[in-house]
Amino acid sequence: MQTYSYLALGDSYTIGEGVPLYDSFPYQAVQLLRNSGRMFHAPEIIAKTGWTTDELAAGIGQTNLQRAYDFVSLLIGVNNQYRGRKLDEYTVQFEALLKQAIGFAGGHSSHVIVLSIPDWGATPFAADRDKQKIAIEIDSFNMVNKTIAERHRTHYIDITPGTRTSASDTTMLATDKLHPSGKEYAKWADALAKYVKEKATP
């Protein structure tokens, strides 16, 4: 029986800032896949809280990776928006990262999953911020990453609407009132696992 590998690229949302590692969406997804009869190694994660697209690229460059992975996920951009970085810059850097992710997946673009950027402006952490401005900017960044993801025939999971509707539910947030809880990550993991199951035979 084949044992699959999974590389998760991103920022705080990928490592699961504020929750135990096993509550992060990559780990929850792998557990769901194992429960469905698929053999998976523990996910390999390249992510750090606060990373922008260029910082993720630098992190990848400093990490010894396998030559190829069976599946790769990419969720990046919230810190580009948070720091007021240009959308044009994000467009170029995100596409470069996605091409790299496809390369890590052995050229199999359908084995690469892009997740949209959550709307942190909907959380209690952003109570004194311009929530509408943040939402508009997040939507602009997500329009870019979705367009690029579809152009390269990768799979796209839109998690943003859920992060907006669940932000008023404290059980969906970590103690920092900014990052998701394991309960919210479980929804992302479920969507990811459902897609991967179609590609990974037991």
Contact predicate 93/145, CB 8 Å: no
Say what the pLDDT of residue 168 is: 80
- Write out the two tokens for 31: 């557990």
How far is residue 22's CA from residue 189's CA, in Å, rounded to a whole number? 11
Q: Which of 195, 167, 185, 164 is nearest to 75 (CA)?
A: 185
Going from the C-alpha of 6 to that of each of 113, 167, 185, 200, the distances in angstroms are 11, 29, 17, 11
Instruction: Give the tokens for residue 38.
Output: 């698929």
What is residue 170's predicted lDDT score, i.e. its pLDDT? 87
Determine the Cα–Cα distance for residues 58 and 177; give it in Å rounded to an integer.
29
Residue 77 contacts residue 91 (beta carbons within 8 Å):
no
What's the residue count for the chain?
202
Cα distances (Å, whole numbers) of residue 158 to 65, 119, 161, 188: 28, 11, 7, 9
pLDDT score at 171? 93
Query: The pTM is what?
Result: 0.97
Which residue matches tokens 């910082």? 55
The number of domains in the chain is 1
Containing structural domain, residue 62? 3-199
pLDDT tens profile 52-89: 999 999 999 999 999 899 999 999 999 999 999 999 99
Place of tokens 């970590």: 174
| Intervals of the chain under pLDDT 70 | none
Tell me the CATH number at 148: 3.40.50.1110
